[in-house]
Chains A and B, each alone.
Chain A
Amino acid sequence: MSRKEEKRKRRERMIEENGLIFLDGVSKVYSAGAPALNGITLHVNRGEFVFIVGDSGSGKSTLIKLLLRELTATSGKVWVMGHDIANLPHRKIPKFRRNLGIVFQDFRLLKDRNVYENVAFAQRIIEVPTKDIRRNVPSILATVGLAGKYKAKPKQLSGGEQQRVALARALINKPSILLADEPTGNLDPKNSWEIMMLLEEINASGTTVIVVTHNREIVNAMQKRVVTMKKGIIVSDEEEGEYIDED
């Protein structure tokens, strides 16, 4: 068995035993102040839909940054898709991130490019042939309900539409995991629900979805796994859970 094959099997075994995402006693301390994360342990299995909730300063954003390998843990291990991501060399981070779809509260679209170019960009970076991009982009735009707006610039779209573009961009490379950091934070209730329905559809197709949110109504209505964080620790982790108020 080749070394590469051996590594792949080891990663598969790791995923089988500990889940697609596995945080083992992870702490993150910034240069000053209390730890943002304090020894948390979390398993997320393939195909799960997980809400991560908690007030500001509870450590949700730090958790997302750790999963994206934007930050590294001060102590403990972070395994994503069988990779110990603290040990990923800088040059391998881009390839690792291509397995993650990421959606932000502020959409983070390239403002000077139209909808088509924003979505196509995710395929450009993995060098998908242009003829395939021309086929894939309209298809994913149709999935998120933006087939007719491919020429529009982000500023010509509503918040909900911009978030759909961000979702299309996150999904076009068929990631194993979709991370959504406050995806409905800038949207009205109607658009928020539409985005959540899209996320549910994406999850139903097999993608693991992790949503960081403050939206109590949505969390309570969707009856998914809810991980509640407070001051850097996980205070509750329940299947079909509810949003727990700090009080």
Chain B
Amino acid sequence: MKISTMFYTLRQGIKGIFRNKLFSLASIATISACLFLFGILYAIVMNFQHIVKTAEEGFCVVVFFDNNIEDTRKSEIGDLIRLRTEVADVKYVSASEAWSWYKERYLKGHEEGFPTNPLEHYDNYEVYLKDVSMYDSLVTYLMSVEGVRYVRRSDVVAEALSGGNLLIAYVSLGIIGILLAVSVFLISNTVTIGISVRQEEINIMKYIGATDFFVRAPFVIEGMLIGAVGAGIPLGLIYLLYNKIVLQVGTAFPALSERLSFLPVNGIFDVLTPVSLCIGIGIGFLGSFTTVRKHLKV
């Protein structure tokens, strides 16, 4: 293809959007509406997952040692734990650190009745997991390690976190799947109608001797541009709204915002931008490509 033909095709694709303003607007509005819903849902789901993940990261099991074991054995136990694939981090808490934390948390200035550290044999390892779903296998292992007296754990919390995470993943996958299917249907219908009303134009081109490619290319470019604009609008809107909404939630529900941490806007848009653009442009491409093909048999 000559360069001049390429530019001509590109110009015709852009002009086509303005020639059929009504259908272009309808297509852009449909794509924008669908991708706006998709974007909002994605942001909500990602924040839920982030909140659960944050909770998971703070969740730990505590390993206490047998009385009177050597410090070297304690170090060995620490090394053994660090080697486990389930483990994200291991933190040693000495007896005095444990006592300080306890005093601060529960006694608050009433510790005069304890002349010595009552938690002398409660130095421990706090073991943080990469994924709560690995909780059972890790606890079973820890309890089997020689020198470990006791493993403090919370099966209920672990189960709730792990189950909650799975539930969110399944529900969000389901909703996003349905939403995408509906979007594809709606958008390709709108693109199809927009092209069908221009069947006569396609027929004329074919009678004059235009190749399928020459007829199709401007329509495909038009479809892709409509898809890109249709994806860009909701992305812009969500970008503007996101920080405001997060700020609003923090102001309206201060107790909630202390416990929950929301994803930064870039954390959402790193994935949402390419995915939305791919969906918009992809549907514009496929919708126009397949619809024009139906009208090329002249």
Chain A residues in the interface with B (C-beta under 8 A): 68, 70, 91, 94-98, 100, 102, 108-110, 112, 121-122, 124-127, 129-130, 169, 173
Contact = CB atoms under 8 A, between A and B. Distances in A.
Nearest to A104: B207
6 contacts: A94-B209, A108-B203, A110-B201, A112-B19, A124-B214, A125-B211
Interface of B: 1-2, 4-5, 8, 19, 200-201, 203-212, 214, 298
Contacts of B208: 97-98, 102, 121-122, 125, 169
Contacts of A98: 208-209
Nearest to A68: B207
Nearest to A106: B200
B293 to A, nearest CB: 12
A237 B212 CA distance: 38
A98 B214 CA distance: 14
Given A70-B298, A108-B200, A112-B19, A125 B214 contact: yes
Closest 8 CB pairs of A and B: A98-B209, A97-B209, A125-B210, A94-B211, A112-B19, A94-B209, A108-B204, A127-B2
A124 B1 CA distance: 12
B209 A95 contact: yes
B209 A108 contact: no
Nearest to B203: A108
A94 B210 contact: yes
A95 B210 CA distance: 8
A148 B136 CA distance: 87
Contact of A102 (B200, B207, B210, B212): B207
Nearest to A97: B209
Contacts of B8: 124
Contacts of B2: 127, 129
A102 B210 CA distance: 13
Nearest to B214: A125
Contacts of A94: 206, 209-212, 214
Nearest to B18: A112
A100 B208 CA distance: 8
Contacts of A70: 207, 298
Nearest to B19: A112
Given A70-B298, A112-B19, A130-B4, A125 B205 contact: yes
